[in-house]
Structures are given as C-alpha cells and as structure tokens.
Amino acid sequence: MKTILVTGGAGYIGSHTTLELIKNGYDVVIFDNLEYGHAEIVEKLKTISKYDGKVIDFIKGDLKNPNDIDTIFNKHRKIDAVIHFAAYIQVEESVKNPQKYYENNVSGSMNLFSAMLKNEVKKIVFSSTAAVYGEPKDLNPIKEDCAKAPINPYGRSKLMVEQILQDYSRTFGIKSAILRYFNVAGANSDAIIGEWHEPETHLIPNILRAVNGKIFQLFGDDFETRDGTCVRDYVNVEDLANAHLLALKYLELEGISSDCFNIGTNNGNTVKEVFDACEKVLQRKIDRKICARRTGDPASLVACNEKAKNILKWTPQRSLEDSIRSAYKWQCGFLEKI
C-alpha cells in the first residue's frame, strides 16, 4: 500500500495522521475545503514530506461537490486506501442546523464512497466518534457493542455513515475500519502542527488560552461524577494518528472483516482533574469560573480499548500530562502569530 487519500487532512487529526503516514513511507493526497482546515498546515506538511522523500499533493475541494472528488481520482489513478476525516464536528451547531450536518457528513461521505466504488478503491478508515453511544448509563468503560443512541445530529450523522459503510462492506466489498475517537488532546511533540480550531470549543486548548489573563469557563459542576464535573477519556493525538496507521495495516491483511474500534485509554478524567493537571504542568495558577452546563454534555464517556489493543495492536503511549505539555508548546508558538 502506498498512496493514501486523506479527506480533511488540513485539520487537527487529519494533519497529525498525515504526518504519521509520511514518516512511515506513504505518499498522501490531502483533500480539504479549507473551511476549518488551514493552508499553512498543508504547507508545513509539504515541507516535511520533501525531507522524508515522500509526496504530498493537496487538492482543494468539497465532498458535497462530486466534480471535486472526481478531480482527485482523475489526477491520482492509484489510490490504495482512504482515510476519511472531513466532517463538521460541533455538537451545538448540529442541533441548531442539522441540515448542514446531514448534507456534509452523510451526503458528502456518500459522494466519496460512490467515487471509491467507481474507481475500485476498496479500503477506508473512517473517523467516527464516541458521540454514537449517546449517554450511556453505568456502562463505562464503553465497549463497541454497547447500544448506539446518539443524542444529537452530529452523533447521528456519524452513526449513519457507519451503517452505510457496513452495508457497502456486505454488498460491495468495501473494507472499513471505523475508529470511534473519545476526547483527542495534545499536539505534535515538536510543535510542528497542533490543534487549531476557530472557534475553539475544546477543554484543554481553552484552559491553556486562559493562561494569558482570560478566565476559563467550566461548564457544569453538578453532574453525578466524583467531583461534579464531566468525565472524559483524553487520548493523545499522536497516539490516535498511530491508530490510523495500524488500521490501514489491518485492512491490508487477508480475510479480515470490516470492523469498528474504540480509540481511548480506558481511563477517565474529570474537567477539574484536567484543569489541575494543566496548572501543575504549567506551574501556574489559572483563573476559572463555574458556568451553567453546556447543552448535550453527557456526564461520563470512557472507552474500553481492549478491542483496539487486541486486534489493531494499538496501545496508547502518552499521558494526559504529555498532551497538555505538547498542546501548550504548540499554543505558545501559535498564539504569537494571531
């Protein structure tokens, strides 16, 4: 396997995975509409790929436009597999504007799968989410076969694509490895790339942004958890990128079936614990204020990662503190620029 199409490769997880692919000898075609991805990130990746003797091609386009997708496959006749990240990811926005989510995340994915079928590309790693489980009660850590009951259009759009892939696997022989991410954190350890969302809604970057005088807003301390704040499973982005590499290798094996895997650490931290860890790593006090709950936040989401460990041979290597350290290193360089 040599050339991988990465949709959404200019985004946070897509760019870290692209870097992991280059380091492991793959050529990459990045497809991104740059609505949330960044041209600067693509340029950085291109520079690195030259040192590594690998090729990155960038095609700007939108999955909602089948002609844009045709451009990829017309230009690159030999794509061995696809890693599909491109999607909208904001839960609250998905509640306000479900059409945007279904058109992009579901119809856009179907356009991609149609092009794959037309061009006989039969391997895909799909970026899914713990949001497909909804609000599991007393089931943490969550196993892959736990009931799927997403509570917002974002989670439903991801579950729909999972189901489409299962049908396309049975009928058309497209082999898929579905990765359900829990909470992703951190940055490339050399601070070459990192988390860059506008607007930023995620916990760790928001705590770190509060270092320079802003007050961190903690959404809800009245959940039924050990300290009243939400429990999440924070997986390091470089570990997650490695899971994609292993998923590709899994798809190369003879006789395997399409399958889905939780990508998390088996371990949860509350928002207060993450906040304390940030203060400890940075060795400074950060201002915070307790605010009302955010709509749709489940109390606790922790992955059982046994399946990914056993089948993909994936083991997370980096701690929460490693993620905080790399996120801060990236953010220090990044905030100087904006």
Q: Which two tokens stand for residue 177?
A: 């490895």
Residue 112 or 301 having the CB closest to ligand UDP: 301
* Whole-number Å distance between alpha carbons of 301 and 72: 37
29 touches 72 (CB < 8 A): yes
Q: Which residue is nearest to ligand UDP (CB)?
A: 230
Residue 3 or 217 having the CB closest to ligand UDP: 217
* Residue 283, phi-psi category: left (phi > 0), alpha (psi -120 to 50), beta (remainder): left
Query: Considering the complex, what minimum distance in angstroms separates the CB of residue 149 from ligand UDP?
Result: 16
Whether 133 is catalytic: no
Query: Considering the complex, what minimum distance in angstroms separates the CB of residue 219 from ligand UDP?
Result: 4
Query: Considering the complex, what minimum distance in angstroms separates the CB of residue 53 from ligand UDP?
Result: 37
Residue 174 or 210 having the CB closest to ligand UDP: 210
Query: Considering the complex, what minimum distance in angstroms separates the CB of residue 6 from ligand UDP?
Result: 22
Rg (CA), the chain: 19
Query: Considering the complex, what minimum distance in angstroms separates the CB of residue 218 from ligand UDP?
Result: 4
* Whole-number Å distance between alpha carbons of 97 and 111: 21
Q: What's the half-sphere exposure (Cβ side, CA atoms, 13 Å) at 103?
A: 7
Residue 121: count other Cβ atoms within 10 Å of its Cβ: 20
Residue 124 or 204 having the CB closest to ligand UDP: 204
DSSP, collapsed to helix, strand or coil, labels residue 54 as coil
Alpha-carbon torsion (104, 202, 12, 337), positive or negative:
positive
Residue 35: count other Cβ atoms within 10 Å of its Cβ: 11
Query: Which of the following is catalytic: 12, 133, 154, 181?
Result: 154
178 touches 161 (CB < 8 A): no
* Whole-number Å distance between alpha carbons of 175 and 222: 43
Residue 121 or 218 having the CB closest to ligand UDP: 218
Residues that bind ligand UDP in the complex, under the rule CB under 6 A? 183, 201-203, 206, 217-219, 230, 232, 271, 294, 297
Neighbouring residues of 23: CB distance < 8 A, sequence distance ≥ 6: 52
Cα distance between the two ends of the chain: 39
Q: At what angle are helices 12-23 and 39-51 packed, to 10 degrees?
A: 10
Query: Considering the complex, what minimum distance in angstroms separates the CB of residue 204 from ligand UDP?
Result: 7
Residue 271 or 320 having the CB closest to ligand UDP: 271
Q: State the catalytic residues.
A: 154
